[in-house]
Amino acid sequence: MTAQDNPRPPRRILFVDHTARWSGGEIALHRFITAMDRARYEPLVVLGEEGALAERLLHEGVRVLIEPLADGVRETRKDSLGASGLAQKLLGGGTALLSYSKRIATLAKENQCEMIHCNSLKSDIYGAIAGKLARVPVVWHVRDHIAPQYLPSLMVRTLRTLSKRVPKHVICNSRSTLLSLFGNDEAATARGESTGRYTVVPDCVDETFLGVPEPTVRTEWRTESDARPLYIVIVGRLARWKGQHVFLDAAKIVSNTLAAEKTTAVPDLRFVIAGGALFGEDAYEAEVKAQAKRDLHPGAVEWRGNIADVPRLLAESDLLVHASITPEPFGQVIIEGMAAGLPVIATRGGGVPETIENGRTGLLVPMGEADALAEAMLTFLRDPKAATQIGRNGWHEVRKRFLPRRTATDIETVYDNLLK
């Protein structure tokens, strides 16, 4: 009997994440899992709560188990962790940490999982212990910068040390993220890469973003018969580091500049903010709404809240802005905007320059500088031909580099090497 007559059953991978909220890392996990080759690898997902990620995975036919984490554990912000250490602060002490890890290990053994894939910083800790107990290799998928801008110093040192000793392999969503594991030391990073334990795999767009036809280059934003406003959109949860306040400062500058110029070449503008406060950012939401009311005329800003159909929102938009004020590890919304054929403006930091080639597939501006962001907006608004050509270039770039199966294949190659 040949191997084709008796094909090997798919190998089961246990994915762990502390949250089921529809946020960056969880969106990326969903996109990867739905693109996996199920004939070779079967996902089993264990989450610390019910939520949108669980619902969407179940809809895709993925088996999901909920192993509840205490609210105080799950809701602990990673930037609030202090010198008391990960085990005490995250999971209530060593006993609770070990107990939860044992439950994950039991699930891995009962379901004959051959690997544990950890998708968040919290799950990195209990997933690593579970892997030791279940005697299966552990992969850390690092989607955050392990750096003092994001995390307390002790946590940074702890995670950097553990990443070199605990997981069998580390996947990073950008080279910038990988560098952060080595303190942005290029020589140390190169030595780490030489061990074969680290792989950079960029996140991908969802298939729903890829149905947009190739955009055309335009010489004007609107024809005489098209009286629609021109929509400049920023997409992402409301959080100070995401820079919605900088976006509004830039919007004020753009509006005042165009009003002073009395130009008729640029249509009426609408500045669209899509996203809500997810992780205790209600005060920031109130702050930016007050800012918009104070600085811009009524109707200039549209608050869309959390958007279920982002592809549709982008299809109705003209420019996309990414305004993070701290280095973004990857920036999924950037490749979503590029996939939609939109001219994209993004802040120069973290993994963003790995995605955008300045002047060809988008414009890069310094982080936190509203004047520079406003100037980039005005550059696009004043030259629709150049703007739409950049949007067209970005459309092609996504289809070369950020397709779901490309990401899935790269990660499956990691699995192949670990399980051979």
Residues 5-36 pLDDT 10s: 557 899 999 999 999 999 899 999 999 999 99
In the three-class reduction of DSSP (H, G, I as helix; E, B as strand; rest coil), residue 343 is classed as coil
Return the pLDDT at 89. 52
**Residues in Cβ contact with 95 at an 8 Å cutoff, skipping those fewer than 6 apart:** none
In a domain, 6, yes or no: no
- Reference 181, options 123, 140, 216, 122; nearest CA is 140
Residues 339 and 411 in one domain: no
Neighbours of 5 (CB within 10 A): 6
What is the predicted pLDDT for the residue at 3? 44
Low-confidence stretches of the chain (pLDDT < 70) are 1-6, 71-94
> Does any domain span residue 137?
yes
CATH number for the domain that contains residue 130: 3.40.50.2000
Same domain, 258 and 365: yes
Residue 160 neighbours by CB under 8 Å, 6+ apart:
146, 181, 182, 183
Whole-angstrom Cα Rg for the chain = 22
Q: Residue 368: name the closest of 240, 278, 252 by CA.
A: 240
Q: Is the dihedral of CA 150, 151, 157, 161 positive or negative?
A: negative
Please answer whether residues 114 and 11 qualify as being in contact, where contact means their C-beta atoms are separated by less than 8 angstroms.
yes
Check if the beta carbon of residue 342 is closer than 8 Å to that of residue 395. Answer: no
- Are 118 and 16 in contact, with CB atoms under 8 Å apart? yes
Residue 403 identity: L
pLDDT in tens, 188-226: 999 999 999 999 999 999 999 999 999 999 999 988 888
SS3 breakdown of the chain: % helix, strand, coil, rounded to 5?
A: 45, 15, 40
Domain membership flag for residue 4:
no
- Answer yes or no: do 100 and 228 share one domain: no
Range of the domain at 390: 207-401
For the chain, the domain total comes to 2
